[in-house]
Amino acid sequence: MRGIRDPRLLPIAEKVMEGKRLSFEDGLVLYETRDLPTLMRLANLVRERKHGHKTYFVHSIRVSQTNICYVGCTFCAFQRRFGEEGAWDFEVDEVVAWVKERYQPGLTEIHMTAGHHPKRPFSYYLDLVRALKENFPGVQVKAWTAAEIHHFSKIARLPYREVLEALKEAGLDAMPGGGAEIFAERVRRRIARAKVSAEGWLAVHRTAHELGIPTNATMLYGHIETLEERLDHMDRLRRLQDETGGFMSFIPLAFQPDGNLLARELGKKEFTTGLDDLKNLAVARLYLDNFPHIKGYWATLTPELAQVSLDWGVTDIDGTLIEERIVHMAGSPTPQGLTKRELARIILMAGRLPVERDALYREVRVWDRVEA
C-alpha cells in the first residue's frame, strides 16, 4: 500500500493485507496515529473484503417498557425512580398497544431495552415476549441487554442459562449488546458501579451463544476511559468471539453528555469529535477481525457522519428505530427515527449498496435505487 506517512503503520498494513491478526500493540498504534487517510484505507479494505459495497439496515422499532431503574449509572439520563416526573411503567397490554400505534408495514424487528425495574417478576418479561410474538407474527424480538439478563437472574433466583432458556422458549430471537460500557474495573466503579460486572456481561453472552441466541456488543466511549481501556474492551470481545462465534456486530456508542451526573462531574459539554468517532470505528474494524459487522449507529453519530463512516469500516447503520428514547434523553440531536427510504438514500449517496436485513442479518431487500 502506497502513501503511508506514519512508518509505524507499515508492518500493520502488511498484516492487514495478508489477513493476519493485529496485536494489542498494533491496536494502540492505530489509535495514536495521525495518518488518518491510511487508517481509513485499511479499515475500508477489510470492510470491502468482508462485504463488498453492501451496507445493512433494519426496519425496527425501539421499545422501552419502563425507565424505572435502581442501578444509578452516572452516564445515564434515561433512568427514573418511582413517582419521579417523566417516569413510565407499562403493563404487557400497554406495550402491545404502544407498538400497534406505531407499527409500520414490513416491520422486521422489535428492539427492546429498558430500566432495571425492582418490582416486576421474571414472569412479566416472559409474558411480554409471548404477547409481542402473538400480536406481531413474523416480527423478531431482539430484547434485553446482558445487564438486564443479570437483573432477571437475581429477581428469579435462577442462573443465566435457565433465564435465557426460558426467554428463548417464549420467543426471544436475539439480544442487543448494551450494558457493556467499558469493561475496565476502574471505569465501571465510576460510571456503573451497581451494574453487572464485565465478567458477568461476558458470561451472559457466552451462555446466549451456547444456546443459539445471537447477540451484539457495544462499547460506551468518550468519557473517562483511556485508549488502552478501549482496546482492552475490544480484546475481551475478540477472545469471546473466537470461543463462540455468536456476535453479529460491534457498536461503539459515543457518550452523550446532556442530563446526566457524569457530564456534570467532569464539567465538560463536548467529549468526542467526528474524527474521534471515525477513528474509533476504523480501529474496531481492524482489531475485531472476527466480527462480521461494525455498526455506525446513526442515532449517536448523526446520519451525516454515519454516511461518512461507510468509508471507515462500517457495514451497518442500524435502522428505522421509530421513536428511540434512550440516547435522545441524553441529548442526542438526531431524529428519533428515519424511514427505510431515507436510510437507503444515505447509503446510496455514499456510493454503497443498501441492503435491508432482519434482526439476524438475513437479507430482506436490496435497495439498488430510491425513487424521488
DSSP output for 120-145: --HHHHHHHHHHHHHHSTT-EEEE--
Going by the DSSP 8-state scheme, the letter that residue 292 receives in this structure is S
pLDDT (tens digit per residue) in 19-69:
999 999 999 999 999 999 999 999 999 999 999 999 999 999 999 998 887
Task: Give the pLDDT confidence score for residue 195 in this predicted structure.
Answer: 87
Residues sharing a CB contact under 8 Å with residue 172, sequence separation 6 or more, in sequence order: 129, 141, 143, 144, 164, 213
Residue 113, CA atoms < 13 Å, CB-side half-sphere: 17
Q: Which residues are annotated as part of the binding site for [4Fe-4S] cluster? A: 69, 73, 76
Would you state the cell numbers that stand for residue 225, as one nine-digit string? Answer: 476511559
pLDDT (tens digit per residue) in 119-132:
999 999 999 999 99
Work out the burial of residue 158: count CB atoms within 10 Å of its CB; fewer than 13 is exposed, 13-18 middle, 19 or more buried: middle
Distance CA(334)–CA(255), nearest Å, equals 14
Residues sharing a CB contact under 8 Å with residue 308, sequence separation 6 or more, in sequence order: 274, 278, 350
> Nearest Cα to 348, choosing from 309, 318, 307, 319?
307
Q: How many CB atoms lie within 10 A of CB 49?
A: 11
| Residue 92 confidence class, pLDDT cut points 50, 70, 90 | very high
Which is higher by pLDDT, 282 or 335? 282
Task: Give the pLDDT confidence score for residue 192 in this predicted structure.
Answer: 79
Task: Give the pLDDT confidence score for residue 257 in this predicted structure.
Answer: 67
Element housing 251 (H / E): strand 247-254
The answer to whether residue 108 scores a pLDDT higher than 60 is yes
Task: Give the pLDDT confidence score for residue 332 in this predicted structure.
Answer: 46
Using DSSP's 3-state secondary structure scheme, residue 76 falls into coil
Distance CA(32)–CA(6), nearest Å, equals 10
- Are 121 and 155 contacting, i.e. CB atoms less than 8 angstroms apart? yes
Task: Give the pLDDT confidence score for residue 319 in this predicted structure.
Answer: 92
| Residue 260 confidence class, pLDDT cut points 50, 70, 90 | low
Q: How many CB atoms lie within 10 A of CB 16?
A: 22
| Residue 328 confidence class, pLDDT cut points 50, 70, 90 | very low
pLDDT (tens digit per residue) in 305-315:
999 999 999 99
The answer to whether residue 325 scores a pLDDT higher than 70 is no
Task: Give the pLDDT confidence score for residue 219 in this predicted structure.
Answer: 96
Q: Which residues are annotated as part of the binding site? A: 69, 73, 75-76, 181
Distance CA(262)–CA(244), nearest Å, equals 34
Task: Give the pLDDT confidence score for residue 194 in this predicted structure.
Answer: 77
Overall residue count recorded for the chain in this entry = 372
pLDDT (tens digit per residue) in 165-210:
999 999 999 999 999 999 999 998 888 777 899 999 999 999 999 9
* pTM to 2 decimal places: 0.91
Task: Give the pLDDT confidence score for residue 151 in this predicted structure.
Answer: 93
Distance CA(320)–CA(336), nearest Å, equals 9
Residue 144, CA atoms < 13 Å, CB-side half-sphere: 27
Task: Give the pLDDT confidence score for residue 70 in this predicted structure.
Answer: 74
Would you state the cell numbers that stand for residue 182, as one nine-digit string? Answer: 467499558
Sign of the Cα torsion 51, 176, 309, 181 reads negative
| Fold held by 52-366 | TIM Barrel (3.20.20)
Task: Give the pLDDT confidence score for residue 266 in this predicted structure.
Answer: 66
Task: Give the pLDDT confidence score for residue 232 in this predicted structure.
Answer: 98
Outline where the chain has alpha helix (H): 9-18, 24-32, 36-51, 92-102, 122-135, 146-156, 160-170, 185-191, 198-210, 227-244, 261-266, 274-287, 298-301, 303-309, 326-329, 340-349
- Are 295 and 314 contacting, i.e. CB atoms less than 8 angstroms apart? yes
Q: Which residues are annotated as part of the binding site for S-adenosyl-L-methionine? A: 75, 181
The answer to whether residue 368 scores a pLDDT higher than 90 is no
Which is higher by pLDDT, 184 or 336? 184
Q: How many CB atoms lie within 10 A of CB 25?
A: 10
Distance CA(120)–CA(92), nearest Å, equals 11
- Are 182 and 213 contacting, i.e. CB atoms less than 8 angstroms apart? no
Task: Give the pLDDT confidence score for residue 327 in this predicted structure.
Answer: 47
The 353-357 sheet, strands edge to edge:
316-319, 54-58, 353-357, 363-366
